[in-house]
Each structure stands twice: as C-alpha cells, then as structure tokens.
Structure 1
Amino acid sequence: MTNLPQLTDALLTLDERVAVLTLNRHDLRNALTGSHLIDDIVTTAEWVNRCEDVSVLVITGAGSSFSAGGNIRDMAERGGDFAGDVAECADRYRQGIQRIPLALQAVEVPIIAAVNGPAIGAGFDLANMADIRIASDRAKFGETFLNLGIIPGDGGAWLMQRLIGYQRAFELTLTGRVVEASEAKELGIVMDVFPIEELMPEALKLANRMASQPPKATRLTKRLMKMAQRMELKDFLDLCACFQGMCHNEPEHLEAVNRMMAQMAKK
C-alpha cells in the first residue's frame, strides 16, 4: 500500500491512481496563509512526483469555499506572513506562498481543480495553477489584490494572462471584480460548471479517464505540453523524438497496443 504524506490542514486520498487533495480549513475559508496549507500543498506536489501510483491530482476545498487566499486578519495586524519591513516581507513571500506555484508547476501528472466555492485572490491563482478547472455553480472568482492595496504576489499576473489573454486578465486584475461561475466559463477560466452535488463526481470521472491511460506516457505527455509553451518547434520536435523513443521501449506501450488490437478483433 502506498504511504500517504502526513498533512496538517488538508486531507489526502488515493484511489485508482487518482489523488484528491482537499483543503480542510473551512474555519478560515481555506485561506492559504495563516494556516499550514502552503506546506501541505507543497508536500503533496513533491509526493505526487515521487509516487508512481499517482496519475492524476485533484484539488478541491472542504466547506463552502475553495480558498479565500490570504488571511486578511493577518494583513490588518501586519502579522504572520505579512510581518516585517520590505526585505523581510519579500522573503516571507519567497519562503511562503510563492512555493506553491513553483511546486505545482513541477507536478508531473495532470492537475484538476474542482472549485467548489469562492476562489478569491491567491485562491483564484491556486485554481489557475491547475491544468484544468471545473467549478460548481456556487463558485466565484476574483483577482482582488488591488482591492486590498497589494499586487498578485503569488504569480497571478503571470498565470491568468496565459489562460485568457492579456486584455481579459488585465481587466479582471485592475478592477478586482468578482465573477460568477457562468462568466468564468465564458471567459475560459473554467472548462465547465456543474451543480455542487455533481462537481466531485464529474471531477473524478474526468480524473479516472486520464488515470486509465498508460502512466509513464501520461507524465511525459504533460511534460511536453508544458515545455511546448516555451520552445521553438524544431527543438520541441527533437524532444518529442527522444520521448517517443522512451515510450516505444516501455512495456506499457506494448500492453496498450495489444489491448487495442484485441478490441479491433472483436469488431
């Protein structure tokens, strides 16, 4: 049996190659700061890369919120992650919340964000770190940093414009307005919206479909998808050739080919 890492403020399960990470600080609306959720998310990301039994990671929230982002009470008191002078505060960001985008960017398996409720500020950015986002009809999204007189300090200005384009991302970031799930779908922030009771079944259906694919090829394919964003075509094709050579020499390739041939023979 695969050993799951010990988490403090989140729950982690693994079933049929699908890991589900549930942010579990409903009392804080799953705020990432002022809790242990940063450590829990980073620990899970590192574990996923080490664990060959995981093919997909689903991230969701317990309670009514996906994540409220930063702990506003700590901001008001200039405490916790927001304490100190300019240099100290900057270092807290680097050693704190900025570890999340770096850790999730490095995750080798598909990440699905099942956004159950409001995803605000850094919570919105957390959802945008996933490869795919689906939402419940109770979800809301807001890049609300400027409303508090701060910037998106966790990479939000980098993430969102790559999802929906500069102009749309600029408008949402500079106005700080909150959008409902239906508008989020229209903007391309989320792929689909479901009633709250259908959200996790739909997320798991999608995750299980991905998890049914050959696991090593799945990890290489995600790596290619990420690297394609920053490589020239010729260099990218060279990399594809190398990865393809690896795939052709994996037992899972021959197993998949034999399954397909057996299915064709039945038709």
Structure 2
Amino acid sequence: MLEEYQRFEAVTVEAEGAIRIVTMNRPDSLNAADADMHRELADVWGLVAADVDCRAVVLTGAGRAFSAGGDFPRMVATQQDQAIQDEVFDEARRTVLGMVELPQPLIAAVNGPAVGLGASLVSLCDLAVASEKAFLADPHLGVGLVPADGAALLWPMMIGLMRAKEYIFTGARIPATKALDLGLVNDVVAQDQVLPTAVDLARRLAEHPPRALRDTKRLMNLHATRALSGLLDQALACERASVNSPEHAALTRQMIDAAEARAALKVG
C-alpha cells in the first residue's frame, strides 16, 4: 500500500507505524493549492481510507504555513476555462467528502496560517492542534467568491451562526488562541511542538479498537455529513457562479498586480 503514495508530489504521505502524515508540500508558495496540489488533495483520501494498516491520520503543511489557500495562476485558469472549472469543482467535492467520510480519525497540525482553502481543510478534520503563531481566515468574499468547500458550511455548527457570519463576512483573522476559545482547534502549542503533539494524539487514538473508533467517528459526524449532503452541491454551484463573475475577475487581477508590484520592489 505504501508504494501507492509515491505518485503524489504536491501532497506527500509518510508512514509512522499505524499513523499516516499527509503534508501539503509547496512551502515556497505557502502551500497554496496549484493544479497538482488541488488534484492530489482530492485523490489522497481514497487511498488513505483503503490503507488497512492506517489507524489515524495527521494533515499538515510544509514550511511556515499550513495553507495560504488558492494559487493565483490556477484561479485565473479556472475563470477562463470551463473544462478546468469542471475539474476544480469535482476535486473540491471529492476533497470535502473524502475528508468527512474518512474512516480513520484525521488531525490537523496547523503549523502556520490556514487561509481560505486552508481554513476549510482544518474545519474538515476531526481534531486540530495549532501553533501559537497560526491563524485561520476565510477571505473568499474579499475576492468576490462564495465560500463553499468547508468553513462556511461547518463553522455555523462549530461556533454558532452569528459568530460564523462575522468571520466569513469580514474575512477577519482568527488567532490561534481565539480559535481555541471558539472551538475551531483543540490545542495551541509552541511552533516546534505542533506536529509532535498531533502525531502523539494520533498514536493515542490508534490504540483504540479500530472498529469501535471508526463507528464512533461515523456516529459523531452524522450532523456534518447530513448538512453537507444537503448543502454541498448547492454551495459549489453558488461558488462556481461567483468564479464566473466580472467582480471576481477584476479583484483577482488587482491582487495579482499588487503581488507583482511588491515583487518588483523587492528586486529593485
């Protein structure tokens, strides 16, 4: 089974006994999801679910970020090519359902900023350990997008509707300690202890009888799976409409221009 993970590059999978560590591996881009990472995030969960030797899973990011969210070139391509849109939204659906329906417990090791897609991935995990330097944020609305793939659907159940609206509508950062208070993460630790703490927690969970653990996870996820089954397709359709909007195209262009200007200043 382990050799099947070798085909992944933007998302790597390592085995530590019965634990699988899934790492988003684009550190130079703060683990923003380009085409390869987005596809591999959709593909990896089916392999993990079928891994009979895996008892618990940790999801983290390489480098100093968990995930900065979307990748600008991929965002532009998604706006311009309907075939790419088909791929992107199929992958988004498979990622959400693959994580929520994963038989093994899934722990986020939030080693740094978790923005947009990154925040959604944290919300789709069963448990989360965050660095004291980490924060969560969902800025979809700021770039003219409907947030559909996790946080906007699950945060109302996790922290209450009005509080969820506050953070989704404003895109404000949620520092790690605030996320702990809200119930978006389970623990906040020093930067160098995030992954060890998450792996230790995974090992403790892996000691439980596997059938009982998996059935308990399935039972406790019923609210989330029922909510997602009723809302996910509608949410993705809304986000797809927003991808095709002139305002999203204009805001994306502004962000790309600003990034290029900052890069030019550094070179100069």
Alpha-carbon RMSD: 2.0
Letter in 2 for 1:175: T
Preserved CA contact (<8 Å) 2:142 2:171 = yes
Identity %: 33
Q: Does the C-alpha gap of structure 1 residues 157 and 89 become closer, same or farther in structure 2, counting only changes over 3 Å?
A: farther
Q: CA deviation at 1:74?
A: 4.1
Which structure carries more helix by proportion? 2
Separation (CA, whole Å) in 1 of partners of 2:132 and 2:45? 27
Counterpart secondary structure, 1:12: strand
Give 1:159's match in structure 2, choosing from 148, 154, 158: 154
Q: CA deviation at 1:35?
A: 3.6
Q: Does the C-alpha gap of structure 1 residues 93 and 159 become closer, same or farther in structure 2, counting only changes over 3 Å?
A: farther
- Which string of whole-angstrom CA distances, capped at 9 and with x for unpartnered residues, describes residues 159-206 of structure 1? 211211111111000011112111111111111100011111111111
Query: Unmatched 5+ residue regions in structure 2?
Result: 227-268
Query: Unmatched 5+ residue regions in structure 1?
Result: 232-267
Separation (CA, whole Å) in 2 of partners of 1:103 and 1:207? 19
Between the two proteins, the alignment pairs up a number of residues equal to 225
Counterpart secondary structure, 2:107: strand
- Higher alpha-carbon Rg: 1
The correspondence of residues 102-113 of structure 1 with structure 2, limited to 5 A, is 102-113=97-108
Separation (CA, whole Å) in 1 of partners of 2:64 and 2:121? 16
Q: CA deviation at 1:90?
A: 5.4
Higher mean alpha-carbon deviation, 152-161 vs 138-147, is at: 152-161
The correspondence of residues 86-97 of structure 1 with structure 2, limited to 5 A, is 91-97=86-92
Number of the residue aligned with 1:49 = 49
Higher mean alpha-carbon deviation, 186-195 vs 213-222, is at: 213-222
- Which string of whole-angstrom CA distances, capped at 9 and with x for unpartnered residues, describes residues 188-226 of structure 1? 111110001111111111110001111222222211222
Task: Name which structure has the greater RCO, CA cutoff 8 Å, separation 6+.
Answer: 2
The correspondence of residues 44-83 of structure 1 with structure 2, limited to 5 A, is 44-75=44-75, 78-79=76-77, 81-83=78-80
Q: CA deviation at 1:28?
A: 1.8
Preserved CA contact (<8 Å) 2:121 2:150 = no
Higher mean alpha-carbon deviation, 59-68 vs 4-13, is at: 4-13
Q: CA deviation at 1:89?
A: 7.0
